[in-house]
A and B are shown apart, each in its own frame.
Chain A
Amino acid sequence: MERPLTQNIKPDGSPARLEDYLHNGGYEGLRRAVKDLSPLEVQAAVKDAGLRGRGGAGFPTGVKWGLVPMGQSAGQKYLVVNADEMEPGTFKDRLLLEGDPHQLLEGLIITAFAIQASIAYIFLRGEYVLAAERLRQAISEAEQSGHLGKNVLGSDFSVEVHLHTSAGRYICGEETALLNSLEGKRATPRAKPPFPQISGLWGRPTVVNNVETLCNVPHIIRKGADWYRTLSRSSDAGTKLYGVSGRVKRPGLWELPIGTPVREIIEEHAGGMQDGHRLKGFLPGGASTDFLLPQHLDVPMDFQAIADAGSRLGTGTMIILDDKTCPVRMVLNLERFFARESCGWCTPCRDGLPWVVQVLEDLVAGRGRAEDLPLLARLCRTIGPGNTFCALAPGAAAPLGSALTHFRGDFEHYLPRAARVA
């Protein structure tokens, strides 16, 4: 089984240096791109490969690039790497950043070439101090070796990279809020349209791609779209970093063919549930996805299958709910996070989430009322998809709404007896 994304990652946690990276065919994709291909050919290759964004939304990467205006008149363009990994339970980009920073840089440089962006920013989560250090090191190595900067590998393509460490808000992971933050403004999302490809950073055409997404790009260019499509076990192409956290024997992160069934990930790779714990449910792709149940264990982890099961692949990093953990308190914990991280721009999120928290707090404190469960359902509906300015509140509604459906008894359990009878 090929594991292109993690092939250079060392078990001891030390980073792959430039020589390690070159040894394994590193920067060959870049060489091929700038020497043999035109930007549009690079775009076409990525489109053919069927690469979908790994940040959570799964938008086809090549299509995203294809919306960027090309040609002389397009003017200044930017590439922004979304490395603001703050989704609770998600730590996949961190592994790639810390373990193999050159892989990201190569993906970044090829992508910048594909959209003809001369400036790229890496927007890095502020707490990823080690990743920042290693990225700086890698940037410096890449610049000195001619892979980055003026005239990349002797071509007439030049690109500069700036590492920006975030001041730390979950909303900065939303690509347009990220752009505002990068411009020094309040990190509130922007309305779309206009999409960043048309009017992004400083009003210029901009592509924002997730770390893992970009890490796929060098391999696609080096080995081709056909090869890439053979990596997966489903209609989606390539490999994916899957993670598991919670009460399993070996929580962790693995690169597996996309479409690997949930059961295989939990039972084989994570070693199954800890002794004395049973699987009650799981959030398949991070905190902002709907709960799935043990009955979904055989669903392949790809975009469509997980959606058909009623959730989202998201970041592909699961959070396990076991039978000894209270789903209501787990949800309350998540909702506190989301309420705190609301940017305060739109009403349903800003004022709805604290209300959700208040009701859940009342509930677990024994102050719940019979009408609270329908109220929570109504709040979930109101802050749901399409009703808010960005995806934060619908993301917050996902675990709550699905928990209300799947674990209703646990919620009712908290109601005072009188309320339960009512």
Chain B
Amino acid sequence: MPTITVDGKVYEARGDENLLKSLLSLGLDLPYFCWHPALGSVGACRQCAVIQYRDENDHQGRLVMACMTPVTEGLRIGLEASDAKEFRATVIEFLMTNHPHDCPVCEEGGECHLQDMTVMTGHTDRSYRGLKRTHRNQYLGPFISHEMNRCIACYRCVRFYQDYAGGHDLQVFASRNNVYFGRFEDGVLDNEFSGNLVEVCPTGVFTDKTFSAHYTRKWDLQAAPSICVHCGLGCNTSPGERYGTLRRIVNRYHGDVNGYFLCDRGRFGYGFVNGANRIRTPTLKGQPIAKEAAAAHLAELSSGRVLGIGSPRASLEANFALREWVGAENFFAGFDDTEYDILATIAAILQDWPVRTPSLRDMEQADAVLVLGEDVTNTAPRLALSLRQAIRNGAWQIADRLKIPRWQDAGVREAAQHERSPLFIASPTSTPLDDVAQETFRCPPADVARLGFAIAHALDDSAPAVEDLSDEQAHLAATIAEYLRTAQRPLVVSGIGCRSLAVIQAAANIARALANRQQRPGDLSFAVPECNSLGLALLEGRRLSEAFLAAEKGLVDAAIVLENDLYRRADRKAVDRFLSAAGRVAVIDHTWHDTAAKAELVLAGSTFAETEGTLVSAEGRAQRFFSVLVPEGQIQDSWRWLSEPGAPARNIDTWTEGCARALAVFAPIAEAAPAAGFRIDGRRVARQPHRYSGRTAMVANVAIHEPKPPQDRDSALAFSMEGAANTEAPPALRPFSWAPGWNSGPQSVNKFQDEVGGHLRGGDPGVHLFEPKTNAVGRWFSQIPPAFRPEPRWPAVIRYHIFGSEELSALSEPLAERMPKPYVALHPADAEVLGVRDTLEVALDEESLLLPVSLDESLPRGVVGVPAGLPGFFRGPCPERITIRKAMAPIAPGGAP
């Protein structure tokens, strides 16, 4: 650790960092714009100037940019030197020559990095008398608003969008003080991570359009620490509320998981919370009833033989409460059966096999990656962003060799050009990561699995071999195995996207083979579809078809369905039969769906924004989320509906602790966040910022007296501006990020990290449920599927869509514009052979749909690509094979090769 002197004081700093980052890590304030902890230094804005002195006799020194200055032993700098301060203030003054004075009407106002830095430099009076340049703004789609006149040309937007996220349609145009950041013409920004522009932009050029629709200043938002519910990665979020509606989602920094960035589904998919389709009051046979009556009815309904069906999108506590309510033997997981089997296998692999699921941060260190059968950009989007960083390991090696510091972003990128560490993708459809893959292999799931098994065998002779491998596959397997073998940190990524157990098992075999070679657990990550898929899989519920069978056998008097639309879990006929056979059905959920519509009793449940609980991410990390708003009177937490009447004192912690006691795997979950009784010097943590305004007037139209803030029995957070500040809160309880002088949330994170860009002080939230094993137990998976052969019915290959395939975000208005219309996809050659032009009739069981045909050259021949979960498509899980008809006549894939 080099010793550096700053304004005469001596500090220890990190030697492999630039001076700006080091100073910020030391807790010192130095303004900056173009630098970003995740993007590195480029030296463009000249804002972070300091004076560097040669030695102790040098009192004049020279101006240097801290972001471009390596930290070296004995470095002497002046942060407060008057020349440096004057220069920094002048840089702000330069920026202000064109920046409009529209803070009062700008949505960034109050959380604007430019405002913060302006205040920090002390620039107040301007001498510039000229005109300001003006730009025309663009329509950029439903997520992002564009106001280019505010641009200070820090270049962070394009560096994030192009260099970090791999986007192509946001660029910088023109030159001098007319540089323009936008698209070549108006249109939707198509990168899956475009929403991060809102947080990456230091001012109000890119703002959240969905937030704009019901805008509130940051200081007027009530917030809470939360977890994204739109896939299984467990990204940390900070939702903001005002007047009982959820206004926006912003990133909540987590050093191991999401870092600084979210995907657009997670950021913009929150609309269902405010949705018109919310279940706001309990109903009995379609008629609204009071909460108490509903609870009593649920108890009465449960008096006989009752079974419960849980949900992968409900918290552990809610699922556990149901399990307790109906008895463990009557608790069914609520996955469709294929998913059930796959998730059970995944859970077993993660618990018993010599594998480790790396965090997203860890994955970025991988120097060879194999993605087996998963379109992660569309199923677990944030993971794809991390893989885009992992492939830069090749670039780091070149930079190290040339002695270019890794933080010198432009220098590293120039030196490395298109050098990438290897990424291989084997999947049934093209994926948005293909552009950075060394090689892609497009084939049906069975062949994806066979390739995986073959790679495992190539790595380790003792793994089962694959018969009848084509030369191409054998060669590819050998190539991939070689890259994985020679890598320092190889990573295998798979998931349930193919709905193929064999794919999962093949991935596990590869990880195990790697573990055997490297004498430490193999890095293996499975993408799972829902926020608590893995948690539910660990809860030892039974299979859905068994519930259906029990009902058909007449062994059931009633069923309680928790936060689950069964029509997404099984085919329509089976669900219809079950719902009628089960007799009396109660549904607890927050949004109307077909299952709820058929239930006798519907109980108004909470979304993630109105309740709290624990979710287990794909990484096996249990994380707590907290309510950000108090639901309307008739809505209550699912677990509260399932608490025994007469035991109102039960709070969430009793369920968390109960769950931890009941199943050994959950033993650590109570440690995921402080319990409700936690206090800081006797105070709760305030959900509202100190500057929260209007509290006494907010309901003045109803009553002139200020109501007492709602009490929160379930967390140590308060629905109030009174209490401990976010700066004092432990990370798991920090509702928002805000520090004195640092009103911009993403920038203020600097103040909460052990070092900038590192881990949160006090520990990144969450607890791991699995300890990686080092020794392999049991046998290799050896059920290798036969090679894919076209058959009379068409094998369905599922295509995932970041917008539309996931249930809850698809209910959110702004996403509608980004969702594809239902379609079927064919390889153009197949379509040609079949004589199919525009539309095709697709049949599933007795249902059929007339759908437009999308031609996709990236599809393997002889399969039909179908979209997962899109509204307007078949609701149930996709079967392996489907029938397509042209002009009412079924057509077989006979024409296909």
Please report A residues at the B interface, Cβ cutoff 8 Å.
169, 186, 190-191, 193-194, 198-199, 202-203, 339-348, 350-355, 358, 362, 371, 375, 378, 382, 386-389
Name the CB-closest residue of A to B68: A191
Q: Are A348 and B91 in contact (CB under 8 A)?
A: yes
Docked Cα-Cα span, A348 to B88, in Å, equals 10
**B172 is an interface residue with CB less than 8 A from chain A:** yes
Please, which residues of chain A bring their CB within 8 A of the CB of B94? 347-348, 350-352, 355, 382
Binds A, one of B175-183, B768-776, B786-794: B175-183
List, in ascending order, chain B residues with CB within 8 A of A378's CB. 90
Q: Contact at B417–A203, with CB atoms within 8 Å? A: yes
Could you name 12 residue pairs across A and B whose Cβ atoms are closer than 8 Å?
A186-B172, A190-B411, A193-B404, A194-B414, A199-B404, A341-B176, A342-B175, A344-B175, A347-B95, A350-B179, A355-B97, A382-B91
Q: Which residues of chain B come closer than 8 Å to A345, judged between CB atoms?
A: 44, 155
B129 touches A358 (CB 8 A): yes
Contact of B153 among A199, A339, A347 (CB under 8 A): A347
Judge if B416 is at the interface, Cβ distance under 8 Å.
yes
Judge whether B410 is part of the interface by a CB distance below 8 angstroms. Answer: yes
Q: Known contacts A169-B175, A346-B43; is A203 also within 8 Å of B129 by CB?
A: no
* CB-based contact A191/B43 at 8 Å: yes
**Taking the nearest CB of chain A, how far is it from the CB of B84, in angstroms?**
11
CB within 8 Å for A354 and B415 given contacts A190-B410, A194-B404, A344-B178? no
* Chain B residues with CB below 8 A from A354, complex form: 97, 130, 176-177
Q: Chain B residues near A191: list those with CB within 8 A.
A: 42-43, 68, 408, 410-411
Q: How far is the CA of A354 from the CA of B68 in the complex (A)?
A: 26
Q: Top 9 A-B pairs ranked by shortest CB distance?
A: A358-B130, A351-B94, A344-B179, A199-B415, A342-B176, A203-B415, A203-B417, A344-B175, A382-B90
- Chain B contacts with A in 94-134, Cβ cutoff 8 A: 94-95, 97-98, 127-130
B702 CB to nearest A CB, Å: 51
Of the residues A202, A350, A355, A371, contact of B130 by C-beta under 8 Å? A355
Chain A residues near B91 (CB-CB < 8 A): 347-348, 382
Report whether B402 and A343 are in contact in the complex, using a CB–CB cutoff of 8 Å: no
Are A371 and B414 within 8 A (Cβ)?
no
B47 touches A355 (CB 8 A): no
In the complex, the answer to whether B68 meets A350 with C-beta atoms within 8 Å is no
| Contact digits for B149-192, partner A, Cβ 8 Å, 1 yes 0 no | 00011010000000000000000101111110000000000000
Question: Could you tell me the distance in whole angstroms from the C-beta of B314 to the nearest C-beta in chain A?
Answer: 50
From B44, B129, B411, B414, A347 is in contact (CB under 8 Å) with B44
A190, A341, A386: the one within 8 Å of B414 (CB): A190
B62 close to chain A: CB less than 8 A? yes
Q: In this assembly, does B592 line the interface, its C-beta being within 8 Å of a C-beta of chain A?
A: no
A169 to B63, CA, bound (A): 28
Residues of chain B within 8 A (CB-CB) of A375 are 127
Q: Within B416-445, which residues are at the interface with A (CB < 8 Å)? A: 416-417, 419
Pair B87/A347 contact, Cβ less than 8 Å: no
Task: Please give me the residue from chain A that is nearest to B42 by CB atom.
Answer: A191
Nearest CB on B from A373, distance (A) = 12
Task: Say yes or no: is B45 at the interface (Cβ < 8 Å to chain A).
Answer: yes
A350-B177, A354-B176 as given contacts; A203 in contact with B404, CB under 8 Å: no
Output the nearest chain A residue to B94 by Cβ-Cβ distance: A351
Q: How far is the CB of A385 from chain B (nearest CB, A)?
A: 10
Nearest-Cβ distance from residue B630 to partner chain A, whole angstroms: 46
Q: Among A193, A350, A388, which residue has its beta carbon within 8 angstroms of that of B411?
A: A193
A194-B44 contact in complex given A202-B417, A347-B94, C-beta closer than 8 Å: no
Determine whether B49 belongs to the interface, using a CB cutoff of 8 Å to chain A.
yes
* B142 CB → nearest A CB, Å: 29
In the complex the two chains form, what is the Cα distance from A202 to B172 in whole Å? 21
With the chains together, A347 CA to B127 CA distance in Å? Answer: 17
> A382 contacts which of B87, B172, B174 (Cβ < 8 Å)?
B87
Q: Answer yes or no: B398 CB below 8 A from chain A CBs.
A: yes
The reply on B267 being an interface residue by CB < 8 A is: no
Which of B42, B94, B127, B398 lies at the interface centre, i.e. has the most chain A CB atoms within 10 A of its CB?
B94
Q: A198 to nearest B CB, angstroms?
A: 6
Identify which of residues 36-52 in chain B touch chain A, using a CB-to-CB cut-off of 8 Å: 42-47, 49
Cα distance A346–B175 when bound, in Å?
A: 11
Given contacts A190-B410, A203-B416, A348-B91, contact A389 B176 (CB under 8 A): no
Are B47 and A347 neighbours in the complex by a CB distance under 8 Å? yes
Residue of B nearest to A200 (CB): B414
Contacts of A388 in B (CB 8 A): 46
- Write the residues of chain B forming the contact surface with A, with a CB cutoff of 8 angstroms: 42-47, 49, 62-64, 68, 87, 90-91, 94-95, 97-98, 127-130, 152-153, 155, 172, 174-179, 398, 402-404, 408, 410-411, 414-417, 419
A170 nearest CB across to chain B (Å): 10
Give Cα A351–Cα B128 distance, bound, in whole angstroms: 11
In contact, B176 and A203 (Cβ under 8 angstroms): no
Residues of A close to B45: CB separation below 8 A: 346-347
B153 touches A350 (CB 8 A): yes
Contacts of A346 in B (CB 8 A): 43-46
What is the bound-complex CA distance between A238 and B128, given in angstroms? 48
Bound Cα distance A389, B95 (Å):
16
Q: Among B62, B97, B402, B410, which residue has its beta carbon within 8 angstroms of that of A351?
A: B97
Contact of A344 among B62, B90, B174 (CB under 8 A): B174
CA A343 – CA B176 in complex, angstroms?
Answer: 5
**Residue of A350, A362, A387 touching B63 (CB-CB under 8 A):** A387
Min CB–CB distance B156 → chain A (angstroms): 13
Q: Which residues of B contact A352 (CB under 8 A)?
A: 94
Q: How far is the CA of A193 from the CA of B68 in the complex (A)?
A: 10
Assembly CA distance A218 to B345 (angstroms): 74
Which of A190, A199, A348, A389 counts the most B-chain CB atoms under 10 A from its CB? A199
Q: Which residues from B are CB-within-8-Å of A193?
A: 404, 411
- If A344-B179, A347-B44 are given as contacts, then 19 extra A-B residue pairs at C-beta distance below 8 Å, sorted by A number, are A191-B43, A191-B68, A193-B411, A198-B402, A199-B402, A199-B415, A203-B419, A339-B176, A345-B155, A346-B43, A346-B46, A348-B46, A350-B94, A350-B176, A351-B98, A354-B176, A355-B97, A358-B128, A375-B127
Q: How far is the CB of B71 from chain A (nearest CB, A)?
A: 15
- Name the A residues within 8 Å of B174 (CB-CB): 344
A362 and B129 contacting across the interface, CB-CB below 8 Å: yes
A194 to B406 CA separation, bound complex (whole angstroms): 12
Q: How far is the CB of B448 from chain A (nearest CB, A)?
A: 35
A344 close to B153 (CB less than 8 A) = yes
Q: Which residue of B lies closest to A361 (CB)?
A: B130
Instruction: Determine if A351 and B411 form an interchain contact, defined as CB atoms under 8 angstroms apart.
Output: no
A306–B62 CA distance with the chains assembled, in angstroms: 24
A182 to chain B, nearest CB (A): 12
A351–B95 contact, CB under 8 A?
yes
Cα(A388)–Cα(B43), bound, Å: 9
CB closest chain-A residue, reference B92: A347
Task: Please name the residue on chain B nearest to A171 by beta carbon.
Answer: B175
A196 closest partner in B (C-beta)? B414
B177 touches A344 (CB 8 A): yes
Q: What's the least CB distance linking B878 to chain A, in Å?
A: 44
- The winner among A202, A341, A344, A375 for most chain B CB atoms within 10 A is A344
Give CA–CA (A371, B175) in the complex, Å: 30
Min C-beta distance of B219 to chain A, whole Å: 29
CB-CB under 8 A from B153, the residues of chain A are 344, 347, 350
* Residue with the highest number of chain A CB atoms closer than 10 Å, among B87, B398, B403, B415: B415
Within the complex, what minimum Cβ distance (angstroms) separates B69 from chain A?
A: 11
Nearest CB on A from B83, distance (A):
9
For A340, A350, A354, which residue has the most chain B Cβ atoms within 10 angstroms?
A350
CA distance A353 to B98 in the complex (A): 13
Contact of A387 among B49, B129, B416, B419 (CB under 8 A): B49
Nearest neighbor of B83 in chain A, beta-carbon distance: A381
**Nearest chain B residue, comparing its CB with the CB of A369:** B129
Closest Cβ neighbor of B179 among chain A residues: A344
| CA gap between A191 and B45 in the complex, in Å | 13
Closest to B64 in A: A386
**Minimal Cβ-Cβ distance residue in A for B45:** A347
Could you tell me the distance in whole angstroms from the C-beta of B95 to the nearest C-beta in chain A?
6
Of A194, A341, A378, chain B has the most CB atoms within 10 Å of the CB of A194
